[in-house]
């Protein structure tokens, strides 16, 4: 470690995070996977990367991780905020509030805490990718609270991109459809029975690596089985005017790295 080529990946011990760790390792990055999974150290050793314990919902855990990276003189070049959960249920009138708060803490607070802790440690130029979901771009009757959390992080990415670009940081959201990971839970059997195509974690990891090694920023990249990644085209709603009548600045699309 100790180079600008260090990537930190939350939820890196399994699924998309694990495959992304392997992909970035192969791209020449030193990789740190941060995860609550007790198997993370063993997984990291097999992969030839480093593991750190992290509960993304805890500010104190993030601060401990930051201190550990400082002690190891890690110069962070890429931050992959990937940890996430689903399963908020459909009955809003009878919503399980404990489950609701857990979803919010992992999917939203975990991203905010990660940015708050790691942006001061991120090298310039640097890059952040946030694992959102196709659920963040559409209605999902089967899990409306999960969809809400993913809409939230997409809004955060798009809203923060201009300010971060001015600081030399690129930020993206990746929005896959159904991916063959443990996150699918019981839905996996239903999807298999319907012969529903699933994305592989390799496809997601490749898209994340492309965003990290590219020059663009503020991209919201959609992935669907059998299709190339595509940048989502938001509706051309006229932007607000500033108090002096000037047009508000557009979102940046590319960061000039000099």
Q: In what order do the strands lie in the sheet with 30-35?
A: 50-53, 30-35, 6-10, 76-81, 122-131, 169-176, 220-223, 230-231
Q: For residues 8 and 118, what is the distance between their CA atoms, to the nearest angstrom?
A: 9
- What tokens were used for 248? 């508000």
Q: For residues 178 and 143, what is the distance between their CA atoms, to the nearest angstrom?
A: 13
Q: Please answer whether residues 83 and 37 qualify as being in contact, where contact means their C-beta atoms are separated by less than 8 angstroms.
A: no
Q: At CA 131, angle to CA 239 and CA 258, rounded to 5?
A: 65
Is 146 annotated as catalytic? Answer: yes
Q: For residues 258 and 216, what is the distance between their CA atoms, to the nearest angstrom?
A: 13
Longest CA–CA span in the chain (Å) reads: 59
Q: E strands of 95-243, at which residues?
A: 122-131, 169-176, 220-223, 230-231
Catalytic residues: 146
């Amino acid at each position: 470690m100790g180079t600008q080529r260090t990537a930190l990946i939350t939820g890196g011990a399994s699924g998309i995070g694990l495959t992304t760790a392997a992909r970035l390792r192969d791209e020449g990055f030193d990789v740190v996977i941060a995860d609550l999974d007790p198997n993370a150290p063993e997984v990291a050793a097999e992969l030839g990367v480093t593991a750190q314990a992290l509960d993304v919902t805890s500010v104190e855990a993030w601060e401990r991780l930051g201190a550990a990276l400082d002690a190891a003189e890690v110069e962070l070049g890429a931050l992959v905020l990937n940890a996430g959960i689903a399963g908020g249920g459909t009955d809003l009138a009878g919503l399980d509030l404990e489950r609701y708060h857990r979803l919010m803490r992992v999917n939203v607070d975990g991203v905010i805490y990660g940015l708050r802790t790691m942006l001061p440690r991120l090298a310039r130029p640097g890059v952040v990718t946030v694992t959102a979901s196709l659920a963040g771009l559409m209605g999902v009757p089967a899990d409306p609270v999960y969809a809400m959390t993913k809409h939230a992080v997409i809004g955060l990415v798009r809203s923060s991109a201009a300010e971060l670009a001015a600081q030399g940081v690129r930020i993206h959201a990746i929005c896959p459809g159904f991916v063959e990971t443990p996150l699918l839970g019981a839905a996996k059997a239903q999807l298999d029975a319907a012969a529903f195509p699933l994305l592989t974690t390799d496809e997601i990891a490749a898209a994340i690596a492309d965003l990290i090694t590219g020059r663009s920023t503020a991209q919201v990249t959609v992935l669907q089985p059998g299709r190339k990644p595509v940048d989502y085209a938001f509706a051309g709603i006229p932007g607000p005017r500033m108090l002096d009548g000037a047009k508000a600045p557009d979102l940046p699309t590319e960061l000039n790295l000099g």
